[in-house]
Amino acid sequence: MAISSSDIRIEVCVDSVESALGAQAGGADRVELCDNLMEGGTTPSAGTIAVARRVLQLGLQVMIRPRGGDFCYSDLEFESMQHDIEVAKSHGADGVVFGLLLPDGRVDVERTRRLVEQARPLSVTFHRAFDVARDPFEALEALIQMGVDRILTTGQEPTVLEGLDLITELVRVAGDRVIILAGAGSKRVMQKVVAQSGVREIHIVAPRAVDSPMTYRHDRVFMGGELRPPEFTRTVTDPSRVRQFRQAVSGIIRTDD
């Protein structure tokens, strides 16, 4: 079966409405809307979800993650995730993104199934909690059994290029049972990932730094911890970089054996 560039869907990870609009302008198929990307992404506010839905015409996936750190959640954290799914649904999200593990590194099947059922009819992505599961193929089969729509992964490695062999095998084993969503990497890396693995969906970030409009800058006070981003610079999604990713995967044709 031939897989061409027209089959490749691009998801852009964003942390603001402005960035979501940038992804849309660049030709993305959907966004994964988060907060706190410095921590790998947490649940965005209800206001951010609502405004994003109002101004976007592309797919809107909402991160459901109550905090940074590991993916082994307390009962109270799980309760907040349930509430956040309802908020995302009520504000018109197309899908939700979450991941739960047990202390031993297996997928938390019981609570994942409950969230999947609650999220319907929205689509469900199991995020990179998958990359720290103890057995990727055990996790894959568990998630397929629960009806998860896609799995975001870098192949259980720090980068998608290092994890490419596992991604390729996951695509083969998964077949049409679940979508393997590969991300993220540079344009050239994602070309190689698509060509070798046969993934049909890629997850990217496309940031550019923008300067604060503040003319008065108090440089002795900061709002975070000791390791902190600059107070007067932030990042937003660059539409031109999204377009470059689209162009990078254009012309790729992979024929499965």
The CATH number of the domain where 188 resides is what? Answer: 3.20.20.380
In whole angstroms, what is the distance from residue 35 CA to residue 51 CA?
A: 14
Q: Quote the domain boundaries for residue 101.
A: 2-212+230-255
Q: Among 69, 61, 177, 173, which residue's Cα sits nearest to residue 122? A: 61
For residues 102 and 252, which has the higher predicted lDDT (pLDDT)?
A: 102
What per-residue confidence (pLDDT) applies to 245? 87
Where residue 222 falls among pLDDT bands split at 50, 70, 90? Answer: low
Structure tokens at 162: 């290092």
Where residue 229 falls among pLDDT bands split at 50, 70, 90? Answer: low
pLDDT at 237 over 80: yes
Does the residue 217 lie in any domain? no
Query: How many distinct structural domains can be found in the chain?
Result: 1
In whole angstroms, what is the distance from residue 23 CA to residue 152 CA?
A: 18
pLDDT at 257 over 50: no
What per-residue confidence (pLDDT) applies to 4? 44
Q: Are 15 and 37 in contact (CB under 8 A)?
A: yes
Determine the distance from the C-alpha atom of residue 162 to the mean position of all C-alpha atoms in its chain, rounded to a whole number.
18
The predicted-structure confidence for 15-73, as pLDDT tens digits, reads as follows 999 999 999 999 999 999 999 888 889 999 999 999 999 999 999 999 999 999 999 99
Sequential DSSP letters for 121-188: TSEEEE-GGGGGSS-HHHHHHHHHHTT--EEEESSSSSSTTTTHHHHHHHHHHHTTSSEEEEE---HH
For residues 251 and 254, which has the higher predicted lDDT (pLDDT)?
A: 251
Does the residue 14 lie in any domain? yes
In whole angstroms, what is the distance from residue 143 CA to residue 107 CA?
A: 8
Predicted TM-score (pTM) of the model is 0.88
The predicted-structure confidence for 168-203, as pLDDT tens digits, reads as follows 999 999 999 999 999 877 788 888 999 999 999 999
Does the residue 109 lie in any domain? yes
Mean pLDDT of the chain: 90
The predicted-structure confidence for 78-90, as pLDDT tens digits, reads as follows 999 999 999 999 9
pLDDT at 139 over 90: yes
Q: Are 164 and 183 in contact (CB under 8 A)?
A: no
Does the residue 219 lie in any domain? no
In whole angstroms, what is the distance from residue 104 CA to residue 127 CA?
A: 18
Does the residue 143 lie in any domain? yes
Where residue 134 falls among pLDDT bands split at 50, 70, 90? Answer: very high
**What are the strands, taking DSSP E only, across 49-89?**
59-63
In whole angstroms, what is the distance from residue 21 CA to residue 56 CA?
A: 7
Does the residue 220 lie in any domain? no
